[in-house]
Amino acid sequence: MFAGDVKELWRYPVKGLRGESLRSAVVDFDGLAGDRLFGLFEPGSDNAVWGGSHPKMMGWEAAWPAQCGCADAVSGDPVLYEPGGAAWGASEAGLPERLAETIDAKKGVEIRKVKRDYGRILVVFEASLRKLSEQMGREIEAARFRPNVVVAADLEPFAEYQLERGLPIRLGDNEFTLQKPCERCVLPSWEPHGANVRDMDLHRHIIKELDNHFGIYLRVSDPVTIKVGDAVSA
């Protein structure tokens, strides 16, 4: 049906913040290890503070510190980097105040673990990114869509949305299951590095021309390791 390979792997330790590039990653039923484990919330509530309402969040980065020489390890708390480059441990006392100040969160923020009922990884295809860029007349970065995996494959642009749900898709030696296309929120319309600039034309195009979808979700039951360069096929 199609064949290709994994070009990029990404992990986002804190929802809404920029993430980190990986060479390999462990994936299981809960999703990619260390991905979107933390979120920002209004203090004392379950109201999420997210990039769609606070796009300056994407000026911050989050990463898991390297341990035992393995940059892909996940242990302890992630490290957050503010736009100027200063590093903060996720549990540092002054971090919530600094976050709130820099992302214009008037009610303040708390950083805490996110409750997840299921796991999945988000895959986008280079051919679709190139076609979307052609349609918009400018480069559209993969970072706008916050993928876990970027794939190059001999698949026509946007053909991934016609694939049958439940289809087995192999990444390396591992068989994943296609869950569904990713329905997009407003986040891809915001500049993905925290510039607080919105591309409304892109938002309208995704809704009108792509049925408000970009990327597909895959799931796996047992723990597996995927790597940049792994073959991809279905």
78-91 pLDDT per residue, tens: 999 999 999 999 99
pTM for this predicted structure: 0.95
pLDDT at 192 (0 to 100): 96
Residue 26 CB neighbours (<10 A): 14
105-139 pLDDT per residue, tens: 999 999 999 987 778 999 999 999 999 999 999 99
28-79 pLDDT per residue, tens: 999 999 999 999 999 999 999 999 999 999 999 999 987 655 656 787 889 9
Domains defined along the chain, listed by start: 3-13+118-233 (2.40.33.20), 33-113 (no CATH)
Rounded distance, CA 3 to CA 91, Å? 43
In the chain, % of residues over pLDDT 90: 92
pLDDT at 75 (0 to 100): 77
Instruction: State the helix-helix crossing angle for 200-209 and 126-136, rounded to 10 degrees.
Output: 120
pLDDT at 71 (0 to 100): 55
pLDDT at 224 (0 to 100): 95
Rounded distance, CA 32 to CA 6, Å? 15
Non-local (6+) Cβ contacts of 225 within 8 A are: 24, 25, 26, 27, 172, 174
Single-letter amino acid, residue 164: E
